[in-house]
Amino acid sequence: MFWALLFCLWTFSTLVGLNARANAAQGMSVSVDPQHIVVIALAGLFALFTAIMLITHVTLISGNYTTVEHMSMRTMKEKERDMLSQVHPIWAISAKKRTVSEWDREWGKMETEGNLWYLGSVRAHWELVMGTNAWTWFLPVGRGTSDGVTFERNPRFDAKGRWMPRREWPAELQ
């Protein structure tokens, strides 16, 4: 996607620049080829689309999520907000923060410790998918460190994949 984004941006910028220079050199009497206008519009649209996809993929990789897991995490956060709105009035922002802090002390943060596949850092997640060699991150030749079938699990979860309270975590993680 990175290279597709660069290609779309290059196509968009060169066509806009060349058409602008041609119009500036010969005055406004030069007609712009309709095909150029269509290609400029499509290149801009594809650049926007690939930029959004690139941002989404980087976000998912940095959290070590799949799309489904990311959506379920969002659902859990919505349920948390609903629960907080039932317990505290809308203006009690500090009380809501205290409640979330208590939950985090007991269970850990939902985005990190509450992720079954959390490995401890964004870099560990990135290297799992993209590999350890930074040169191959931008070239389509590298491989990740995972085989794509088996994955290391967050030790804050039990053997059945249930999130454990902090008191049951391994000692080095408490």
- Which residues 6+ apart lie within 8 Å of 158 measured at CB? 164, 168
Query: Distance between CA 5 and CA 17 in Å, rounded?
Result: 18
Give the structural domain span for 22. Answer: 1-63
Where helices occur in the chain by DSSP H, the ranges are 2-26, 34-63, 67-87, 93-107, 122-130
Structural domain contains residue 48: yes
- pLDDT for position 147: 78
CB burial of residue 153 (10 Å; 0-12, 13-18, 19+): middle
Structural domain contains residue 111: no
Number of residues written out for the chain: 174
Query: Distance between CA 36 and CA 13 in Å, rounded?
Result: 12
Task: Please state the domain count of the chain.
Answer: 1
Structural domain contains residue 39: yes
Structural domain contains residue 109: no
Per-residue pLDDT of the chain (174 residues; tens, 9 = 90+): 888 999 999 999 999 998 888 887 777 666 778 898 999 999 999 999 999 999 999 999 999 988 888 998 899 999 999 999 999 998 999 999 999 999 999 998 888 888 888 988 999 999 888 888 888 888 877 777 777 788 888 889 998 989 999 999 988 887
pTM of the model: 0.78
